[in-house]
């Protein structure tokens, strides 16, 4: 029973994170300059993806 509640809580947190990230639109942010480094967002995205995969395999 405790494991079921924990899984439900994790699913609720993930859904809340997905809902907040989907509400952000690209038009709100200014366009990056042509000289900016485009790889700055790659590392956090890769870490978040690996974290999600880890929890997917865990549960």
What are the residue ranges of helices labelled H in 1-59? 2-22, 42-58
Task: With beta carbons less than 8 A apart as the criterion, state whether 53 and 8 touch.
Answer: no
Task: Compute the mean pLDDT over every residue in the chain, rounded to the nearest whole number.
Answer: 75
pLDDT tens per residue across span 36-56:
555 556 677 788 888 888 888
Bigger pLDDT: 36 vs 1: 1
More confident residue, 30 or 3: 3
- Given this model, what pLDDT does residue 38 score? 57
């Amino acid at each position: 029973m405790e494991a079921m509640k924990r899984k439900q809580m994790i699913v609720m947190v993930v859904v809340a994170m997905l809902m907040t990230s989907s509400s952000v639109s690209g038009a709100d942010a200014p366009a990056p300059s042509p000289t900016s480094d485009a790889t700055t967002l790659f590392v956090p995205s890769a870490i978040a993806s690996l974290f999600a995969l880890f929890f997917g395999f865990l549960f």
